[in-house]
């Protein structure tokens, strides 16, 4: 199941990366085609706004690259006794994959939440094993399975 989760995330991240790259190219083209008008301040403001947009998009690309790199570091064959980075955690409430902050993906007719190891919930779960419980938002979450 881990492999399917990782592959699905990689596909979605690559699609996002392609969309962002396309947006960056569009901004670059717009910047290059923008000609200086007699209203110089308006031109400079417009160029600065486009520069900021390009910088924001490039920052998003960096985040995606780091997420893909983190996914690549996960050993899908490792079986966990205690929750750590790369563990798949089953609870009565949900399935969690301790990996990257990504959100929900659906594989094998199950919703799995990808959460970073530094999120508060993951921090509560770290080091726990099957049968242990954590209290999250006032509710007891029993760890049913760790793999």
The set of residues, in sequence order, having a beta carbon less than 8 Å from that of 106 and lying 6+ positions away, is 112
Q: To the nearest whole percent, how much of the chain has pLDDT over 70? A: 93
What is the maximal distance between C-alpha atoms in the chain? 72
pLDDT at residue 42 in the model: 62
* pLDDT value of position 48: 86
**Is the distance from CB of 97 to CB of 85 less than 8 angstroms?**
no
Q: Where are the domains of the chain?
A: 2-72, 88-146
The total number of residues shown for the chain amounts to 147
Print burial letters for 43-77: b (CB count within 10 Å at least 16), e (below 16).
Answer: eeeeeeebeebbeebeebeeebeebbebbeebeee
pLDDT attached to residue 32: 79
| pLDDT at residue 37, as a whole number | 53
* Residue-wise pLDDT tens digits, 3-44: 999 999 999 999 999 999 999 999 888 887 765 554 556 657
Task: Please determine, for residue 125, whether its predicted confidence score (pLDDT) is greater than 60.
Answer: yes
Measured CA to CA, the distance from residue 9 to residue 69 in angstroms comes to 12
Q: What is the pLDDT of residue 35?
A: 57
Percent of all residues in the chain with a pLDDT value above 90, rounded to a whole number = 82
For 133, phi then psi, to 5°, come to: -135, 155
What pLDDT, in 10s, does the model give residues 103-120?
Answer: 999 999 999 999 999 999
**Of residues 86 and 28, which shows the higher confidence score?**
86
């Amino acid at each position: 199941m881990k492999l399917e989760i990782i592959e699905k995330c990689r596909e979605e991240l690559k699609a996002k990366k392609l969309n962002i790259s396309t947006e960056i190219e569009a901004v670059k083209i717009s910047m290059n085609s923008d000609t200086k008008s007699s209203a110089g301040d308006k031109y400079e403001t417009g160029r600065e706004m486009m520069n900021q947009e390009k910088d924001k998009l490039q920052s998003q690309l960096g985040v995606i690259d780091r997420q893909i790199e983190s996914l690549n570091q996960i050993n899908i064959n490792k079986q966990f006794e205690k929750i750590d980075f790369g563990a798949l955690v089953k609870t009565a409430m949900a399935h969690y994959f301790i990996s990257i902050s990504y959100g929900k993906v659906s594989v094998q007719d199950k919703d799995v939440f990808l959460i970073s190891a530094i999120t508060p919930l993951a921090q509560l779960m770290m080091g726990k094993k099957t049968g242990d419980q954590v209290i999250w938002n006032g509710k007891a979450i029993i760890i049913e399975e760790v793999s």
